Structure 1
Amino acid sequence: MSWLIYYIIAVNIAGVLSMGLDKMKARAGAWRIPENSLMLIALAGGSPGIYAGLKIFRHKTRHLKFSVGVPIIFLIQAAIIARLVYLGIL
């Protein structure tokens, strides 16, 4: 179980940092992190980190994929985790 906690922490840190890095790159007009890569981080369990990065850096706030999609991904993931806890799997 402790490995799962470390994984969730790591993927969420990666999410926040990825959003910050992409915002810096956007301002500089440099190479950007593809939106699909950011969404993959969210799907991999980093949806709170991606959403935090969205709010902290005010980045991708006009994209429905991020402003609506990431919270939906989080709710689905939270429901799955709650169900697994209820069943005693986690």
Structure 2
Amino acid sequence: MSVELYIAGLWLVINMIAFALMGSDKRRAVRNKRRISERRLWLFAWLFGAVGAWAGMVQWRHKTKHASFRIGLPLLSVIQCGLLIVLYWSLLR
């Protein structure tokens, strides 16, 4: 398996987990259950899952009143996508 395909697969899995965590936390909030910590949500966002976390935030309208999520996730997504593009181009050399 090529390195590019491995990185893309890993990125996809991390983003799917971040997306699912946002949905799960929203369901738990509605049902007054034990919540997923913001620290854990940010951990997956920082582990290159920002796009998935942002998509989950928009999909379930969750954490949209928190400026750190509303501004931070899109900004982190752009930074991470830029880093992935640079990594991809550096692997092609």
> TM-score, normalised to structure 1's length?
0.90
- Which residue matches 1:43? 46
- Which residue matches 1:16? 19
Please identify, of 1-10 and 77-86, the stretch whose mean Cα deviation from structure 2 is larger: 77-86
Q: CA deviation at 1:89?
A: 5.7
Ranges in structure 2 where 5+ consecutive residues have no aligned partner: none
Count of residues in correspondence between the two structures: 90
Q: Percent identity at matched positions?
A: 30
The CA RMSD measured in Å over matched residues stands at: 1.5
Picking from 36, 45, 55, the partner of 2:58 is 55
Which digits, 9 at most, give the CA deviation of each residue in 1:46-79, with x for residues without a partner? 1111011001100000011111001111111122
Ranges in structure 1 where 5+ consecutive residues have no aligned partner: none
